[in-house]
Amino acid sequence: MRSEEYTNFIFDNCDTVELAKTFGTPLYVMSEDRIKSKCRDIRENFLNKYPNTRAAYASKAFTTMAMCKIIEREGLGLDVVSGGELYTAIRADFPMERIIFHGNNKSYEEIALGVTHDIGRFVVDNIYELELLEEIAAEQNKKVKILFRITPGVEGSAHKYINTGQEDSKFGIPLDEKIIEYVVKKAMDSSNIILKGFHFHIGSQLFDSNLNILAINVTVNLMKSLKEKFGFITEELNIGGGFGIRYTDEDDETKPISFHTDPVMQAVKDECAGAGLDMPIIIIEPGRWIVGEAGITLYTLGAIKEIPNVRTYISVDGGLPDNPRPALYEAKYEAIVANKANEKPEKVVTIAGKCCESGDILIWDLKVPQIESGDILAVFNTGAYNYSMSSNYNRLPRPAVVLINEGNAELIVERENYDHLLEREIVPSRLGKAQSISCDVALTRLE
């Protein structure tokens, strides 16, 4: 980084102010290098360190066809959770045997898409899905490989909306003896289903391994009892994702992969040895940890509202529709004024989004230098669950996404325009005619 020469914020050799000029704002900027370096850590310190391990990227955190290509080249698998995510992978020519299909209410069409394309694993969440999958596999005359998602009864430590492993959860099969034994037996007896093992996911933004270790203890007990009762051998155990990243100084530092995986591997080894079981293949599914810190969002500052002795609000040209996380989870972010990166902070302001919602505040109490409308704000660590959770609320077109790589920036998702917002709308003729002009024409007429 050449920060002495530049007053602009440089992100992975790209001048962010230039990016804002070239591509407009709001703009999602993703660094290929940062994504790859996380994948490299997984390869070197998990996959290569431990035999019989796999890693799949949880594409719900951020997915596009270009992202699928990066993940494919990095040698990871892909966790998808809907027909849309699966279709993105199919169109990106992602190797289907590396796909893991999640979801607590997969539709007939979604399951059929997965069966048709011979995806690697279905993670079956409930009895209803098992029956549907069996029926579709039989229709297509296929044998599908599955894991059962179980609810280990362990509570995550993050916001309650991102904890999933607790007993009272919509996800997974409860570890009630009758229920779990019923589904395992049913899968074992099916001629179209091959049961390979189990999956759990405790929750997101985890900074210690204790919860995963508790869940491993519960799962190994289950594995032991199923072996004793039915002779069932668990070949695979998928422990989900959830590894945390640092958003602000209040969070722990982002830890290397080994911080999360070493204790888990040790626990599986010890527990299995204690139970007289062979070690299963261990699979991890990080999403946020891979892409969270690889992304920033650029905004242009607009209206400045000073309320004497109260606070100063500065509004940006995006907000809740491109980053709903502060409103949903009270998530916190750090940011920098990108065109004044070397200037000392002098005041504290609140960064507001432009939506008609009082809750649309991106950052409370951000320290900034002297600022004015037109300045560019770079919000850090927006790579995960921002673009993928974006909406058109207030009919705001979604921002573009650029991928930066060795100082070059390329569009991987075009900015939406007003016509995209209306693309699938129909006005019934009895209500009158719609204008047939495009937004380009409408905009020039307005000028």
Residues 6+ apart with CB under 8 A from 84: none
Q: Say if residue 26 is preceded by a cis peptide, omega within 30 of 0.
A: yes
Residue range at the interface with ligand LLP (CB under 6 A); choices 225-233, 235-243, 352-360, 405-413: 235-243
The reply to whether 286 sits near ligand LLP by the rule CB under 6 A is yes
Do 386 and 313 touch, CB atoms closer than 8 A? Answer: no
When binding is defined by CB under 6 A, the residue of 15, 79, 236, 375 that contacts ligand LLP is 79
By CB under 6 A, the residues from 376 to 405 that bind ligand LLP are: 384-385
**Could you give the count of Cα atoms lying within 13 Å of 354 in the half-sphere of its Cβ?**
16
- Using rule CB under 6 A, residue 46 touches ligand LLP: no
Give 225: exposed, middle or buried? Use CB within 10 Å, 0-12, 13-18, 19+. Answer: middle
Burial class (CB in 10 A: 0-12, 13-18, 19+), 344: exposed
> Which of 90, 112, 162, 268 touches ligand LLP by CB under 6 A?
162
CB of 255 to ligand LLP, least distance (A): 13
Rounded least distance, CB 318 to ligand LLP, Å: 17
139 Rama sector, left if φ>0, alpha if ψ -120 to 50, beta otherwise: alpha
Is 288 one of the binding residues for ligand LLP (CB under 6 A)?
yes
DSSP 141: T
Segment near ligand LLP (CB under 6 A), from 46-54, 239-247, 341-349, 432-440?
A: 239-247
Catalytic residue among 14, 39, 355, 356: 356
Q: Based on the shown chain and the rule CB under 6 A, indicate whether residue 340 belongs to the binding site for ligand LLP.
A: no
Query: Is residue 363 within the footprint of ligand LLP (CB under 6 A)?
Result: no
Residue 289 interacts with ligand LLP (CB under 6 A): yes or no: yes
Cβ closest to ligand LLP, residue 13 vs residue 82: 82
Q: What is the distance of C-alpha 152 from the center of its chain?
A: 22
Which CB atom, from 260 or from 340, has the smaller least distance to ligand LLP? Answer: 260
Active site residue 356: yes
Q: Counting contacts by CB under 6 A, is residue 320 touching ligand LLP?
A: no
Candidates 156, 242, 326, 399; binder of ligand LLP (CB under 6 A) is: 242
Name beta bridge partners: 337: 377
* Backbone φ and ψ of 347, nearest 5°: -145, 170
Residue range at the interface with ligand LLP (CB under 6 A); choices 180-188, 238-246, 248-256, 392-400: 238-246
Instruction: Check binding of 58 to ligand LLP (CB under 6 A).
Output: yes
Residues 292 and 384: beta-carbon distance below 8 Å: yes
In whole angstroms, give the CA distance from residue 364 to residue 326.
10
Main-chain dihedrals φ then ψ at residue 405, nearest 5 degrees: -150, 115
- Binding residues for ligand LLP (CB under 6 A): 58, 61, 79, 102, 162, 164, 201, 204, 240-243, 285-289, 325, 329, 384-385
Query: What amino acid positions are annotated as catalytic residues?
Result: 356
